[in-house]
Structure 1
Amino acid sequence: MTSPNRNRYKELWEKGTQTGQLRLSTERLSDLLLEEFPPEVWAIEGLIPAEGVTIISGSPGSFKTWLYMEMAVKVAQGESVFGHFPSKQMGVMVIDEESGRQRLQKRFKQMGASENTEIHFTSRIGYKMNHLYVDAIAKEAKEKEIGLVIFDSFTRFNNADENASGDMATLMDCYRQLADTGLAVLILHHNRKGVAGQSNPAMEMRGSSDILAAADCHIAVNRVGQSEFVRLTQTKNRDIWEPAPFELRFHENATEFEYVGEGKSSADRHNEQLKEIVEAVGLYPGLSKRQLVAQIKTDGFKGGDKKISDCLDELARTEMVRVLPGGRNSYKYYLPSDEPSAAKND
């Protein structure tokens, strides 16, 4: 079951392989400009397109499975995902090759699924992705009125080398065919080992670049240390500008993720640190740099000695703080409003 357009070219290709002559049937742009398409629809607003391929990638322990489960339950129930992103109610199919039946049951119960939740699944059946499997999934989706199909995880559906661009392009074409039938396709994938902290989180995803190239959307998932917080960064979206990175909170017995808010830029965090250090100079006027560094760290500043020292130097250059001789080759730090009167008169 493929799209009518793909079927047409498939027939031409098969005829060409039989006759040794391939007829290429092009279309006029003017016809495309007059064609009417249904309005743009999202399975999850701004995150998962209703007719596209989305990849969620992250390291082990980054809550990927919990994330897709909330998405599945909320989409099936027509509720906002993470309490923030509206969803379009539709049936969901989960093709699980990771968790197994018992863990699926336990976690879906925790995430609020009920007997009335329109989620269908297979678990650890071992099928590999090919055109036969694509047709079977598309047929089942049509019969069960399913709009979102979730694959957990990418590596379990193929035996090929993930770094082989040709093999990955062929594999991703299978997922593309499913999207062409009108399905939202969500694939979970793993990150490379030992590459956390890349300036572009998309580069942390394992395998050939053809995997990312074939996706319509990509969401990178990074857990904040071993905390309850996870940061989601959409690195690719073919339909809209990527939303700002945002953080979620998920504790052990939670029934859903808590939306914390949009992540701050490096400049925002730096300015907040400068403000924190200015406040410290105001609280402890007349301390040396060494004393200030020790006191600011004691007060819980999130940064090392060099970071505090560099910030103090920047504040001095911009005259947000004043640095005055303190005797015995030492210097004392003050706010302009707190500096000794003798220094002001100088």
Structure 2
Amino acid sequence: MPSKNTVLTDNLQAALSHAKAGRPVFPCKPDKSPLVKWRERATTDEDQIKTWWRKWPDAMAGLPMGQATGLAVLDLDKRPDKDGAAALRDLGFDLDSMSPCIIDTPSGGQHIYFQWHEGLGNSAAGLPAGVDVRGEGGYVIASGSKNATGAYSGDLTPDLPQWPEALRPARSDAPEATSGECDGLPMHHVKEALMTLPNDGDAYSNRDDWLKIGAALHHETEGSNEGLDLFQEWSGQHPTYDEGETESVWQSFRRSDGPVRTFATIRAEAESHGWIDLSSLDDCLTADELAAIDALIGMPESPQSRLRFLSPSDCESMPARHYVVKGLLAEGDVGCIVGAPGAGKSLVAPFIGYAVAQGERVFGHRTRAGGVLYVAAEDSHGMRGRVKALKDAHGDANAFFLVDGVSDLLNSRVAGKPSPDLGDLQKAVQDRKPALVVVDTIAMAFPALEENDAKSMGQVVAAARSLTKWGAAVLLIHHDTKEGSGIARGHSILNGALDMSLHIKRDGGVVVGNLTKNRNGTTDQPLAFTVKTVTLGEDEDGDPITTAMCQEADAPENKAKRLTPSVAAALAVFNDLPKPVSDDAWRQAVIDSRTVSASEDADSRRKAYKRAVEDLTRKGLIVFADGHFTLAAGDCEDFTDDMVGAAQ
């Protein structure tokens, strides 16, 4: 866990300085994206700020715009393809006289501060390229903050001027308004449709096309933060992606009596790309597999149809499912923790279960307090020691129960009857109605399982689903494939039926968990822990009795700025050119090389160059200054091994 001693970094000092002046702040990653839900959590509380910076000592301070601070910012970008400051000068503005508060940004841009006025949001409609507006619903990185590229230099002064009347965003160019009824689809179903749309090339590079998809998603998700996360994820595939711009556009969408832009827009586009609406079925299960699972569960045949036909009003009136671990597991879900032997599956699983039993946060996620049945089929004796260590470290948890005696949830000892262990466990779940049931592990709880056989693995799915009938979530512990793919070993019917799958893998001294499937939220939320050795006492010879325990840690930084093959090729061309490199020289070298794009059309190769330069600039690998490109500070060799397809 992070040290309790506050590390006074420049960024922390900047955050505390703004908070002392009455301006709420929140932590941001070095790439400027928020580390918390900033709209709800931005604060001036010194203790909370110090807590954040103990956890994220390298975080920069984010500063909300609009009503929270009374501030608005004219954000001037400086990039190879656009220069906001030059664009304003071309319009006749004297930047130095616009405001006494101008903050220089690490990328060479500027933040010009003004007083915020009612109704000023984030739309930059009608303004030149490179000129953005940060108002209500937006934020900027606060002055005094630093990242590896540089500092946000300057002081935020009082007595700021009003927003310039001549730079009010034009209302006529605002993103398309939406109205009408929502389809009310589950978020995972919306995501499946949206992610079918290819957004890594020219398909949605036109701004109008991008806005139409965003407006439809905003309408269907009612502008929720979950919808924003999905819009960011989809938009992030494109080489020109800008996180701040994407959020600004999202905030500018609004409902009105104007043109309708509903989920039908996404549906039609997705279906044209081969997507099929299977909202009533598990996405990876065939009808025969579903029927086989129903038979294994023991669902009686009935002459009456089991289909349910729900009107929009029915859907609206149905209560939402309660979460067990918010954003990961909900009641009725079946999840799985997957990893190689010794990775720590049986350490993190009881740690999560113990947090649920206590109603405490785990890896940053809220839990709904409830009973937990931990089926220790693999090592009941060893698990007792781990539970004792959890009690010593976190206090008692009267709702946590270790279930001993389960040895076979698969086979019956009497022909024609279900497994007695499964029957006993089902009865216990029905009587106790826990929030979570953990089965550790599939291999030991289902002995003689033929993992690659659809029917056999279907029995595992059926057994797990049968334990969810009374509202519990079920968490299975299983082994990874030999290749370490992160997918549960065995027939795909298991992975298809899962609502959540967490792959854990050792990364040096830290174990990192990455979600490979998640129907309750995004998969981009890694968790990490270290393995701590705990002494429980002494044996009869006076030697220490020890056990292992999971201890939360910060996820390692992604090494990370992975490059696509075309972007990697553009960087390789750059490295071969005499330094410094002009825009014209690099562009022509890329066009001539045909390694970035093999298109016969020179204009297509030129566009590929433009996308590659934007991606490298956005990732901070190259810098444009004084008319030339140079490598950013740091060793770009660090990224060579992570280039996608670099070895091709």
Specify if TM > 0.5: yes
Matches of 2:437 and 2:578, distance apart in 1: 55
**What is the one-letter code of the residue matched to 1:162?**
E
CA positional deviation for 1:144:
3.0
Matches of 2:578 and 2:520, distance apart in 1: 43
CA 1:228–1:109: 2 relative to 1, 3 Å = farther
CA positional deviation for 1:336:
9.3
1:156-215 deviation per Cα after TM superposition (whole angstroms, max 9, x unaligned) = 12222100012211321111121232111000001122x12x4xx32xx31111111121
Number of matched pairs: 265
Matches of 1:124 and 1:235, distance apart in 2: 32
Q: Specify which of 260, 274, 297 is matched with residue 554 of structure 2.
A: 260
Pair 1:107 & 2:386 matched: yes
Q: For the Cα contact (< 8 Å) 1:12–1:23, is it kept in 2?
A: no
CA positional deviation for 1:143:
2.9
Structure 2 partner of 1:213 = 496
Structure 1 partner of 2:469 = 180
Matches of 1:124 and 1:11, distance apart in 2: 27
Pair 1:161 & 2:450 matched: yes
CA positional deviation for 1:122:
2.1
Q: What is the DSSP-based 3-state SS (H/G/I as helix, E as strand, rest coil) of the residue aligned with 1:253?
A: strand
Structure 1 partner of 2:373 = 93
Matches of 1:320 and 1:40, distance apart in 2: 58
Structure 1 partner of 2:355 = 74
Q: For the Cα contact (< 8 Å) 2:430–2:470, is it kept in 1?
A: no
RMSD over aligned Cα, in angstroms?
A: 3.6
Matches of 2:580 and 2:367, distance apart in 1: 47
1:62-87 deviation per Cα after TM superposition (whole angstroms, max 9, x unaligned) = 111110111011111110113x1111
Structure 2 partner of 1:287 = none
CA positional deviation for 1:251:
3.7
**What is the one-letter code of the residue matched to 2:424?**
A
Q: Specify which of 329, 337, 347 is matched with residue 48 of structure 1.
A: 329
Matches of 2:353 and 2:444, distance apart in 1: 20
CA positional deviation for 1:26:
4.4
Q: What is the DSSP-based 3-state SS (H/G/I as helix, E as strand, rest coil) of the residue aligned with 2:554?
A: strand
CA 1:125–1:134: 2 relative to 1, 3 Å = closer
CA 1:253–1:265: 2 relative to 1, 3 Å = same
Q: What is the DSSP-based 3-state SS (H/G/I as helix, E as strand, rest coil) of the residue aligned with 1:221?
A: strand
Q: What is the DSSP-based 3-state SS (H/G/I as helix, E as strand, rest coil) of the residue aligned with 1:88?
A: coil
Matches of 2:328 and 2:313, distance apart in 1: 27
Q: What is the DSSP-based 3-state SS (H/G/I as helix, E as strand, rest coil) of the residue aligned with 2:493?
A: helix
Structure 1 partner of 2:409 = 128
Pair 1:39 & 2:333 matched: no
Which has the higher relative contact order, 1 or 2, with Cα contacts under 8 A spaced 6 or more apart?
A: 1
TM-score when scaled to structure 2?
A: 0.37
Q: What is the DSSP-based 3-state SS (H/G/I as helix, E as strand, rest coil) of the residue aligned with 1:180?
A: coil
Q: What is the DSSP-based 3-state SS (H/G/I as helix, E as strand, rest coil) of the residue aligned with 2:305?
A: coil
Matches of 1:124 and 1:28, distance apart in 2: 39
Q: What is the DSSP-based 3-state SS (H/G/I as helix, E as strand, rest coil) of the residue aligned with 1:189?
A: strand
CA 1:206–1:137: 2 relative to 1, 3 Å = same
Question: After the TM superposition, which of the residue ranges 142-151 and 87-96 deviates more from structure 2?
Answer: 142-151
CA 1:161–1:234: 2 relative to 1, 3 Å = same
Q: For the Cα contact (< 8 Å) 2:329–2:520, is it kept in 1?
A: no
Matches of 1:253 and 1:164, distance apart in 2: 39
Q: For the Cα contact (< 8 Å) 1:231–1:245, is it kept in 2?
A: no
Matches of 2:532 and 2:298, distance apart in 1: 49
Pair 1:65 & 2:354 matched: no
CA 1:49–1:30: 2 relative to 1, 3 Å = closer
Structure 2 stretches lacking a partner, 5+ long:
1-293, 411-417, 535-548, 583-623, 627-648
Pair 1:229 & 2:523 matched: no
CA 1:94–1:315: 2 relative to 1, 3 Å = same
CA positional deviation for 1:259:
3.8
Q: Specify which of 529, 549, 564 is matched with residue 249 of structure 1.
A: 529
Q: What is the DSSP-based 3-state SS (H/G/I as helix, E as strand, rest coil) of the residue aligned with 2:361?
A: coil
CA positional deviation for 1:135:
4.0
CA 1:55–1:12: 2 relative to 1, 3 Å = closer
1:90-146 deviation per Cα after TM superposition (whole angstroms, max 9, x unaligned) = 111011111222x22221222236554321122354232356544432331343342
**What is the one-letter code of the residue matched to 2:365?**
F
Q: Specify which of 148, 151, 157 is matched with residue 439 of structure 2.
A: 151
Matches of 1:336 and 1:11, distance apart in 2: 69
**What is the one-letter code of the residue matched to 2:322?**
V
Matches of 1:121 and 1:86, distance apart in 2: 22
CA 1:132–1:223: 2 relative to 1, 3 Å = same
CA positional deviation for 1:217:
1.2
**What is the one-letter code of the residue matched to 1:87?**
T
Structure 2 partner of 1:192 = 481
Structure 1 partner of 2:180 = none
Structure with the largest fraction of helix: 1
Matches of 1:114 and 1:246, distance apart in 2: 26
Q: What is the DSSP-based 3-state SS (H/G/I as helix, E as strand, rest coil) of the residue aligned with 2:532?
A: coil
Matches of 1:147 and 1:155, distance apart in 2: 23
CA 1:50–1:182: 2 relative to 1, 3 Å = same
CA positional deviation for 1:24:
3.8
Q: For the Cα contact (< 8 Å) 2:328–2:520, is it kept in 1?
A: no
Matches of 2:580 and 2:352, distance apart in 1: 47
CA 1:315–1:161: 2 relative to 1, 3 Å = same
Matches of 2:511 and 2:401, distance apart in 1: 27
CA positional deviation for 1:31:
5.9
Matches of 1:157 and 1:11, distance apart in 2: 23
Q: What is the DSSP-based 3-state SS (H/G/I as helix, E as strand, rest coil) of the residue aligned with 1:107?
A: helix
Q: What is the DSSP-based 3-state SS (H/G/I as helix, E as strand, rest coil) of the residue aligned with 1:61?
A: coil
CA positional deviation for 1:32:
8.2
**What is the one-letter code of the residue matched to 1:166?**
K
